[in-house]
Structure 1
Amino acid sequence: MIYKFKSKAAGDVIMMEGSGDHVLRIIGKQPAVKGIVEPADMPAAIAAIEAAVAAEEEARRQAQADAAAEGKTPPPGDGVSLRQRAWPLVEMMKRAIAADEEIVWGV
């Protein structure tokens, strides 16, 4: 499944199922074919994404430090971080908050 997030305040944001499901769970939504994020819920959603990004980056730094301490090669990353995957949706949320518009998908 592909998520196509839409808002009158910004251009569409498209995510593949795995990334979309992950981000939706972070913001407290169940992955679903259709959904909505209201402007009132967006500041908390942005904060949740930022906290998840910080946790992921800290875990990566810790893994690198542990590997260096043991004289091993750090484990490979996923290639594309949560920060990179979620950034377009966070930007959409910021614009939607300013315009008092919701974000929908699957409609």
Structure 2
Amino acid sequence: MSLYRFKSRETGDLVMLQPTGKRILEILGKDPAGPGILQPAEFPGAVDALREAAVVEEALQQRLKEEARAKGEPEPEFETVSLRMRCAPFIEMMQRCQTADVAIVWGT
């Protein structure tokens, strides 16, 4: 399985499996097909976008569970590691890079 490697001069590399890295980049409106860059000015909006996506995912999962209970069906199962947990290291990386005013770059 391929990987995404996020790099900055402020932090160590952040390595993610392809499905997670691709999803995060898509949430941020970045092209996941190749290398890219996220500038410090983009970090606040990126953090907000990732947090909002996590809230939306959690609300959808809760709704699906409630609908299943109402129908007397077994509750659907979801990934053990949520989007919120998968985004946490990336959000921390952006916060540290924001303070140092350095960009994050990535490639596959």
C-alpha distance in 1, partners of 2:107/2:42? 19
* Alpha-carbon shift at residue 106 of structure 1 (Å): 2.6
Q: Structure 1: which 4+ aligned runs deviate by more than 3 Å? A: none
Q: Secondary structure at the match of 1:3?
A: strand
RMSD across aligned C-alpha pairs, in angstroms? Answer: 1.3
C-alpha distance in 2, partners of 1:52/1:43? 14
Identity of aligned residues (%): 41
Residue 45 of structure 2 aligns with which residue? 44
C-alpha distance in 2, partners of 1:99/1:60? 36
* Alpha-carbon shift at residue 11 of structure 1 (Å): 1.9
* Alpha-carbon shift at residue 33 of structure 1 (Å): 2.6
Residue 106 of structure 2 aligns with which residue? 105
C-alpha distance in 2, partners of 1:9/1:57? 31
C-alpha distance in 2, partners of 1:57/1:9? 31
Q: Secondary structure at the match of 1:75?
A: coil
Matched length: 107
Q: Secondary structure at the match of 2:13?
A: strand
Query: Which region of structure 1 is more displaced relative to structure 2, 76-85 or 36-45?
Result: 76-85
Gaps of 5+ in 1: none
Give me the TM-score of the superposition, normalised by structure 2.
0.92
C-alpha distance in 2, partners of 1:96/1:47? 16
Residue 76 of structure 2 aligns with which residue? 75
Q: Deviations over 1:59-85 (max 9, x none)?
A: 011111111111221111022211111
Q: Deviations over 1:35-74 (max 9, x none)?
A: 1100001111111101100000000111111111112211
